[in-house]
């Protein structure tokens, strides 16, 4: 992999996104860290490379298409190109299904689905024009089993991402761009600990066949593999890592 390759990671300032950023940077990519929390993105970029040569942070609200268009323009201006897009930005809200309001639904879908869809359009068109690219969308076990600890609107948004992944994969494959999804189950992250609750965590683990939460570093490895030039024949796929909670 050429050291010149540039990867954009949305929602890259914290949690799983930060793990993905660290893995790709360690693999030699220059990284554009996009996050609603611009300060978190900037802090991580500074930690990885204080000179700004191989890592930069950007404050981006992925629910706004114009913000994604600006992100592409900024990354091209700062790095001179882009080769990989990881759509990781997401909004999670645990709420009983019949209590989800129209505003709740709209806000979750705007970030999770619309943000991913528009990013695939904006960056996908650019990558296709250049004849090469890798797009990795973060789905979820919730998309496959309807969700348990997360809200139904979150599960629905992630299910829509799986469908969009297939649509973009079919459209962009002839132009050298692969589009895939990674579908993690519950991970050992602050977000999962918060949703489950520390008091209920031990009991929660008994429901996972392998008996443990997933490792974000391993999910990052999966993303890095799909983002690599060698993954040229994998497109429209969904790679699962859910501890046996969902078996195809």
- Note if 154 is an active site residue: yes
Which contiguous run of DSSP H or E holds residue 144? helix 141-145
Which candidate in 29, 58, 132, 154 is catalytic?
A: 154
Give, as one character, the DSSP assignment of residue 233: T
Q: How many residues make up the chain in this entry? A: 248
Give, as one character, the DSSP assignment of residue 225: H
Q: Which two tokens stand for residue 42?
A: 């900037």
Which contiguous run of DSSP H or E holds residue 7? strand 6-10
Instruction: State the Cα–Cα distance between residues 53 and 99, nearest whole angstrom.
Output: 47
The runs of H, that is alpha helices, within 37-95 are: 38-48, 65-79
Q: Report the catalytic residues.
A: 154
């Amino acid at each position: 992999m050429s050291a010149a390759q540039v990867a954009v990671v949305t929602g890259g300032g914290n949690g799983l996104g930060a793990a993905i950023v660290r893995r790709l940077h360690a693999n030699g990519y220059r990284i554009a860290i996009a996050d609603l929390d611009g300060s978190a993105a900037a802090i991580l970029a500074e930690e990885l490379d204080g000179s700004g040569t191989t890592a930069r942070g950007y404050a981006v609200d992925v629910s706004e298409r114009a913000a994604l268009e600006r992100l592409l323009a900024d990354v091209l201006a700062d790095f001179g190109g882009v080769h990989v897009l990881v759509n990781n930005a997401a909004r999670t809200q645990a709420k009983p299904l019949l209590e989800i309001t129209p505003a709740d639904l709209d806000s979750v879908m705007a970030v999770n689905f619309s943000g991913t869809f528009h990013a695939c359009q904006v960056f996908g068109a650019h990558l296709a024009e250049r004849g090469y690219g890798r797009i990795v969308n973060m789905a979820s076990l919730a998309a496959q089993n309807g969700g348990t600890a997360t809200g139904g609107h979150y599960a629905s948004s992630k299910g829509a991402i799986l469908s969009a992944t297939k649509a973009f994969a079919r459209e962009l494959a002839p132009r050298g761009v692969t589009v895939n999804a990674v579908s993690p189950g519950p991970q050992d992250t602050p977000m999962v600990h918060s949703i489950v609750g520390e008091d209920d965590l031990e009991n929660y683990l008994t429901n996972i066949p392998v008996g443990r939460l997933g490792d974000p570093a391993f999910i990052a490895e999966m993303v890095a593999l799909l983002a690599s030039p060698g993954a040229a024949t994998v497109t429209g796929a969904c790679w699962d890592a859910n501890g046996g909670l969902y078996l195809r």
